[in-house]
A and B are shown apart, each in its own frame.
Chain A
Amino acid sequence: MKESSLRRRIFADRAFQALVALLSFCAILPMFFILFFITKNGIAVINWNFLTRLPAPVGETGGGIANGIIGSGLLIVLSSVIAVPVGVLTGIYLAEHRKGKFAYLSRLSVEILMGIPSIVIGIIAYIWVVMPTGSFSAISGGVALGIMMLPVIVMSTEETLKLIPDSLKEASLALGVSYPRTILKVILPAGLNGIVTGVLLSVARVTGETAPLLFTAFGSPFMAVNILKPVSALPLTVFNYATSPYPEWHALAWGASFVLLVFVLALNLTAKLGLRKWKVQF
């Protein structure tokens, strides 16, 4: 082989590796831009009043996002109540039935649910809850977010339980422990770490969702805790104020974005890093 061709190949190799590294680096840049932008603009408006007061009318300064925080909390509780029990049970079902046509259909449904655009879920909650009750409400928002949480919880529960060795189940059954107790008291505790991770990730997923809330929870400038009335939510606050023409409201939107971003990223990081530490060893 000729020396020059070898040199060219080595050069191509190095150049390609540099290009890959460069493009990868560029792709993660937006993360830092976003963090920088949101933090710079957001932190300036964050103070105790901002977190505890209701929004101020146009022209006045010093309003807060308390309604959004409370509303988001309420929506998370409602959607978790709907999605966690069904999601965990479905996950158990799929982990216990690895083969079979029915389990396959069920698994496929979960994957399709995962891919449905959030705006479509919003319309479904509108058709199912808002139309019959005749009013936008926290509960309709909870249904929408619950449907979005469901597949995440199912998948993480199934994945976690699949990794638990069968010998554990046999140990319990051989002690004369019934099947329900074996699942609930031996298998679930052994997989608790993964299930909690899944729930946290699903909460992180829906906390930032705006589209499904536009015509369900709808938004409200008041401190609302009635689940049959419209409520605000942090992402709705961001959307409404960010797209308004008033600079005071933009400030509110930056602050709300910062709070939302910190919450969602912290939840993601906790789920991915923090929970590894107390993972069950087999």
Chain B
Amino acid sequence: MKNLSLGRYIPNDTFIHRLDPRTKILAMIFLLVIVFMEIGFLGYFILGIFLLILLKVTKVSFRTLFRLIKNMWFMFLFLFIINILSFQRGNVLLDLEFFKIYDSGIYQTLYIIIRLVIMITITTILTTSTKPLDMTYGLEYLMTPLKIIKFPTHEIAMIISIALRFIPTLLDETERIMKAQASRGSILSEGKLKDKIPAIISLIIPLFFSAFKRSDELADAMEARGYDPSAKRTRYRVLKFTSSDWLSLSLIVVITAGFVYLSFNKEMIESLLGIDLWR
């Protein structure tokens, strides 16, 4: 279970940790919007440097992030192959008798990989610096306008917080059942897929069984205490916007505006800097 520390909340006391979860969620949305704009390699370079600074401030170790990204090598390879096969325009880089490799395929793959890496970085910064519960409170608050269209914001937030609450419990349970089955000679980590199937079944069935039992008990316990989702309730921890939240949000808005400007005026900036941003 060692890999599970990846992307998990790491208690610390940094500027980013202290920010209001709502600020962080909004900032993440802005940054994700930037990732999907056409900002060219220059834009990604600038965004990358900004994120490196954020990582440094949040004290996320680069090793942790690298391990997260490393696990995706297969997906990157797959994307690369698909793109090379499907992009058949632009300049020919390599001409094999039966098919040609074009530069646009390579560029496209690079783009997607850069976007994925940046997205992972952004979400890692959010999840390592924000307690899961704070995150749900933040989400619930940000979703309040949706109440007008009868969107069950409180219920959704409750579902998310219960789900988050049970992740460690279920992981413990998984580990326990894996160990119990390993004691009976079933080994998940080695052998052919054919031999692994009974081992996987021996893990999944007990896990489902206990998860259903747990949810049943939890529902009963909540009802026994008179839980009513539509009841009006106050909050023990009240989220508060501070000056650093306003500052951070303004900074993010300015940055986003800058990138919007960049993406709409690429040609002008290209000619100004005298470099080819591509596309």
Verify that A and B bind, or say they do not: no
